[in-house]
A and B are shown apart, each in its own frame.
Chain A
Amino acid sequence: MAITKFFNEMTADDGSVREHYAAYAKWLSDTPADRIARKRAEADSLFHRYGITFAVYGEESGTERLIPFDIIPRIIPAQEWKGLEAGMRQRVKALNAFIHDIYHDQEILKAGRIPKEQVLNNAQYRPEMQGVDVPCNVYAHIAGVDVVRAGAGEFYVLEDNLRVPSGVSYMLEDRRMMMRLFPELFASHRIAPVEHYPDMLLHTLRSVAPKGVDDPTVVVMTPGAYNSAYFEHAFLAQQMGVELVEGQDLFVRDDQVFMRTTQGPRRVDVIYRRVDDDFLDPTAFRKDSMIGVPGLLNAYRAGRVTLSNAIGTGVADDKSIYPYVPEMIRFYLGEEPILNNVPTYMCRKPEDLAYTLAHLPELVVKEVHGAGGYGMLVGPASTKEQIETFRKYLVANPEKYIAQPTLALSNCPTFVESGVAPRHLDLRPFVLSGSEMRLVPGGLTRVALREGSLVVNSSQGGGTKDTWVLEA
Chain B
Amino acid sequence: MLSRTADHLFWMARYMERAENTARILDVTYRLSLLPQNGQEVEAMWAGMLKIMELQDTFHAKHPAFTTEAVLEFMIFDRDNPGSIYRCLRATRENAHAVRGTLTSELWETSNATWLKMRDFSMAKMMETGPGAFFEWVKYRSHLSRGVTIGTMLQDEALRFIRLGTFLERADNTARILEVKYLNLLPGSESDVESTDYYQWSALLRSVSAFEVYRKVYRDHITPLRVAELLILRADMPRSLARCMKEVYSNLGRVANSRSAETERMAGELEAHLRFGRIERIFELGLRNYLEEFRDSIFDLGCRISDDFLIPASA
Interface residues of A (CB under 8 A from B): 48-51, 61-62, 224-225, 230, 234-235, 237-238, 243-246, 248-249, 251, 253, 258-265
Contact = CB atoms under 8 A, between A and B. Distances in A.
Given A49-B116, A50-B105, A260-B312, 4 more contacts: A234-B101, A251-B315, A262-B161, A265-B315
Contacts of A265: 315
A61 B98 CA distance: 12
Contacts of A50: 105, 109, 112
Given A49-B113, A50-B105, A62-B119, A261 B90 contact: no
Contact of A262 (B94, B115, B309): B309
B115 A62 contact: yes
A251 B4 CA distance: 13
A53 to B, nearest CB: 10
B2 interface: yes
B187 to A, nearest CB: 44
A382 B211 CA distance: 71
B93 interface: yes
B100 A51 contact: yes
Q: At the interface, is chain B mostly helix, strand, loop or mixed?
A: helix
A259 B312 CA distance: 12
Nearest to B5: A243
A61 B2 CA distance: 24
The 6 closest A-B CB pairs, nearest first, are A238-B101, A234-B101, A237-B101, A225-B98, A262-B309, A260-B3
A265 B3 CA distance: 10
Contacts of B255: 262
A49 B4 CA distance: 25
A259 B94 CA distance: 22
11 contacts: A49-B109, A62-B93, A238-B101, A243-B1, A244-B5, A251-B315, A253-B315, A258-B315, A260-B312, A262-B2, A262-B309
A224 B98 CA distance: 8
Contacts of A238: 100-102
A425 B108 CA distance: 32
A215 to B, nearest CB: 18
A451 B221 CA distance: 74
B92 to A, nearest CB: 12
Interface of B: 1-6, 90, 93-94, 97-102, 105, 108-109, 112-113, 115-116, 119, 157, 161, 255, 257-258, 309-310, 312, 315
Nearest to B115: A62
A260 B97 contact: no
Contact of B101 (A48, A61, A244, A258): A244
Contacts of A61: 90, 94
B211 to A, nearest CB: 35
Contacts of A248: 4
Nearest to A241: B101
A51 B4 contact: no
Contact of A263 (B94, B119, B257, B310): B257
Contacts of A258: 315
Contacts of B102: 238, 244
Contacts of A49: 109, 112-113, 116
Contacts of B119: 62
A262 B257 contact: yes
Nearest to A55: B97
B254 to A, nearest CB: 11
B165 to A, nearest CB: 13
Given A49-B112, A62-B93, A260 B100 contact: no
Contacts of A234: 100-101
Nearest to A242: B101
B3 A261 contact: yes
Nearest to B260: A262
Contacts of B310: 262
A62 B79 CA distance: 14
B100 A259 contact: no
Nearest to B97: A225
B112 A51 contact: yes
Contacts of B3: 249, 260-262
A246 B4 contact: yes
Contacts of B93: 62
Contacts of A264: 257-258
A154 to B, nearest CB: 40
A296 to B, nearest CB: 14
A99 to B, nearest CB: 30
A238 B106 CA distance: 13
A261 B2 CA distance: 4
Contacts of B101: 234-235, 237-238, 244
B94 A225 contact: yes
A259 B98 contact: no
A256 to B, nearest CB: 12
B2 A260 contact: yes
Contacts of A244: 5, 99, 101-102
B26 to A, nearest CB: 23
B1 A262 contact: yes
A27 B178 CA distance: 64
Nearest to B315: A251
A265 to B, nearest CB: 7
A262 B100 contact: no
B105 A260 contact: no
B221 to A, nearest CB: 48
B98 to A, nearest CB: 5
A262 B315 contact: no
Contacts of A249: 2-4
Contacts of A251: 315
Nearest to B108: A51
Given A61-B90, A243-B5, A51 B257 contact: no
B116 A48 contact: yes
Contacts of A245: 2
Nearest to B308: A262
